[in-house]
Amino acid sequence: MTLHHHDAIALSRRNLLRSSVLLGAGVAVGALPFGSSLAHAAVGFEARWPNVTAMLDKYVSERKVAGMVAVLGWGDKDPGFIVRGKEAFDDPDMAGENSLFRAYSQTKPVTGMAAMMLIDDRKLKLDQPVADFIPEFANMRVAIDPKSSLESRPAQNQITVRHLLTHTAGLGYAGVGKEKVSAELLRLGVTPAVLTRMKIPGLPVSPPTPGPDEFVKLAASVPLVSEPGTEWHYSMSLDVLGVVIQRASGAKSFEAFLQERMFDPIGMKSSYFRVPATEVHRLTANYGLMGGFPLPIDPSKTSIYRDRPAFAFGGSGLVCSPADYDRFLKMIANGGLVGSKRVMGAAAVALGVSNLLPDGVSTKGTFIDGAGNGAGGRSGLGRDAGTFGWGGAAGTVGFVNVRMGLRAGIYTQYMPSEALPVHAEFPQKVLADIGGMRGA
């Protein structure tokens, strides 16, 4: 039986899908515009990003991680890459821009922007009830005290597309939340992510995740943790949204929709929900940090990502290269354009990176305290406005600032993400280097 990554108690189970606070405060502050001559000065790329480079040098030289790839780009220009280390500690292949990394929750902005495409197509509405596409969600119930029991009352509000985009639907997250609701989802196998095929002694194993139709039926059978549209609660909502997108678009599957409308038009040729056998040689190894020591939990040759998943998990299922995810961010930075080809409407992109939280909902006290929530990603507010992105459970981060035309990402593989401060540190290093460019 497959061990789902929510079950990895020794790896801080609740934090595996949770993205740390990222896109740190002030990335947009007084930033260097992408058109500045300093941004494209005729000096070595790494020399322009000394703090980011030093960060990679430190983590790899100290063997905290096997390898790291940083991607930085401006406007419609091609990105630069800073690369250190290998695809695995025991792999002769160096890490690089085309190595494959488990994106985990970095999948969420991809799903969010896919929904914005359908809103632009008028096949979805932002405040449309999800029950229009998943009837089982028409009569949801809310747990009266989700921390202690599953006793529930009828929900007063319908779950909407906006709620799924912004983690305000009231849904739980199997093994991640501390309430009875998430424990029940785990018991039922409503676990939209995988970690490894390895059996780790002493760890509970949930039932196999069912296909998308049965998944949403089971999800709808469990009470909500809060009234829809009233609280920010990190959840499986983007996985449910992937099913909505498939049904609203009429596509064969959510994966097929992404391939046709996003991956192919953008040129994302190294983005998969199942790694083809011919590409396994590019897949990095994933490590669990046990007492600070990296132990392999998903080696590439035996990776669970070689198996076909129950369905394409819109909240955590993507495996991609740093170059591919940068292409996605570049499309956003350029208002939906890839070269002269329009992949998304400019208004849809602008709406997707904005704060879409329902009126009255605050992120205060959550792990994105002080931020907004856009289409599946953190949305900056105030001086941080224009910043949009998210991090993944295995240490990856990707974000864009549409005001600056900046896009940035860092890729490595370790769990839990909070074992090292990569999520918070990377945006800070980017900001420090931008400040250096402005002062040059």
Secondary structure of residue 406 in the 3-state scheme: strand
Among residues 202, 214, 216, 197, the alpha carbon closest in space to that of 296 is found at 197
pTM: 0.92
CA separation for the pair 77, 83 (Å, rounded): 19
Q: Which two tokens stand for residue 402?
A: 């549409």
Residue pair 427/397 in contact (Cβ under 8 Å)? The answer is: yes
Residue pair 275/319 in contact (Cβ under 8 Å)? The answer is: yes
Among residues 195, 187, 168, the alpha carbon closest in space to that of 361 is found at 168
pLDDT for 439 equals 64
Question: Do β-strands 152-154 and 141-143 pair in parallel, antiparallel, or remain unpaired?
Answer: antiparallel
CA separation for the pair 208, 188 (Å, rounded): 9
Q: Which two tokens stand for residue 197?
A: 């095929």
Residue pair 341/350 in contact (Cβ under 8 Å)? The answer is: no
Number of Cα atoms under 13 Å in the Cβ half of residue 253: 12
**Bridge partners (DSSP) listed for residue 152:** 143
Sign of the alpha-carbon torsion through 242, 244, 246, 249: negative
pLDDT for 203 equals 56
Backbone angles phi, psi at 415, to 5 degrees: -140, 150
Residue pair 46/54 in contact (Cβ under 8 Å)? The answer is: no
pLDDT for 17 equals 40
CA separation for the pair 167, 148 (Å, rounded): 22
Across 277-405, where does the E strand assignment appear? 286-290, 293-298, 319-320, 337-338, 341-342, 372-373, 378-379, 387-391, 397-401
Residues of the chain with pLDDT under 50: 1-43
Across 26-147, where does the E strand assignment appear? 67-74, 80-85, 101-102, 141-143
Residues 6+ apart with CB under 8 A from 333: 73, 75, 76, 400, 401, 402, 405, 406, 407
pLDDT for 294 equals 96
pLDDT for 200 equals 65
Helices (H), 287-407: 322-333, 346-352
Whether a cis peptide bond, with omega within 30° of 0, leads into 210 is no
Among residues 424, 431, 390, 437, the alpha carbon closest in space to that of 17 is found at 390
pLDDT for 21 equals 40
